[in-house]
Amino acid sequence: MRVRLAGLVAVSAFALAACGGGSASDDPNAPLSVAVSPQPHGEILEYVDRELAPKAGIDLEITKFDDYNRPNEAVANGEIDANYFQHIPYLDEYKSKRGGEFSWVAPVHLEPLAIYSKQVKSVQELPNGATVTLSNDPANQFRGLKLLEANGAIKLKPEAAVGTRLEAAIAENPKGLQFKDLSPDQLPRSVDDAAAAVVNGNYAIKANLKDPIAVESAENNPYANGLVTSPKLAEDPRIKKLAELLKSPEVKDYINKTYGGVGVIPAS
98, 119: one domain = no
The three-state secondary structure class of 67 is: coil
Give me the residues of the chain with pLDDT under 70, please. Answer: 1-26
Give me the pLDDT at residue 219, please.
Answer: 78
pLDDT of residue 6: 55
Same domain? For 226 and 103 the reply is: yes
Comparing CA positions, the residue from 189, 183, 181 lying closest to residue 207 is: 189
Query: HSE on the CB side for 121, CA within 13 Å?
Result: 0
> How far is residue 218 from each of residues 117, 213, 256, 263, measured CA to CA in Å?
21, 16, 14, 11
The predicted pLDDT at position 205 comes to: 84
Say yes or no: 107 and 230 in one domain: yes
CATH code, 76: 3.40.190.10
Look at residue 173 in the predicted model and tell me its pLDDT. Answer: 98
Q: pLDDT averaged over the chain?
A: 89
* Structure confidence at residue 13 (pLDDT): 34
Separation CA 140–CA 129 (nearest Å) = 23
pLDDT of residue 108: 96
pLDDT at residue number 25? 55
pLDDT at position 56: 96
Can you give the pLDDT at residue 20?
39
pLDDT at position 218 is 77
**227 shares a domain with 207:** no
Domain count within the chain = 2
Residues 225 and 162 in one domain: no
Please indicate, yes or no, whether residues 131 and 93 belong to a single structural domain of this protein: no
> From CA 179, how far away is CA 49, in angstroms rounded?
41
CA 163, 168, 169, 174 dihedral sign is: positive
132 and 69 assigned to the same domain: no
Q: C-alpha distances in angstroms, 253 versus 164, 192, 246?
A: 38, 34, 11
**Which pLDDT score is estimated for 15?**
35
Tell me how far apart the alpha carbons of residues 126 and 110 are, in angstroms, rounded to a whole number. 27
Same domain, 73 and 196: no
The whole domain housing 159 covers 114-215
Whether the upstream peptide bond of residue 249 has omega within 30° of 0, thus cis, is no
Q: Is the domain of 253 the same as that of 165?
A: no
172 and 197 both lie in a single domain: yes
- Are residue 228 and residue 164 in the same domain, yes or no? no
In 3D space, the residue among 237, 240, 203, 218 whose CA is nearest the CA of residue 109 turns out to be 218
Q: Do 98 and 143 fall within a single domain? A: no
Closest CA to 61 of 143, 4, 130: 4
Among the residues of the chain, which ranges form H helices?
13-18, 43-47, 53-56, 70-76, 88-98, 138-150, 166-169, 187-190, 201-206, 237-246, 249-259
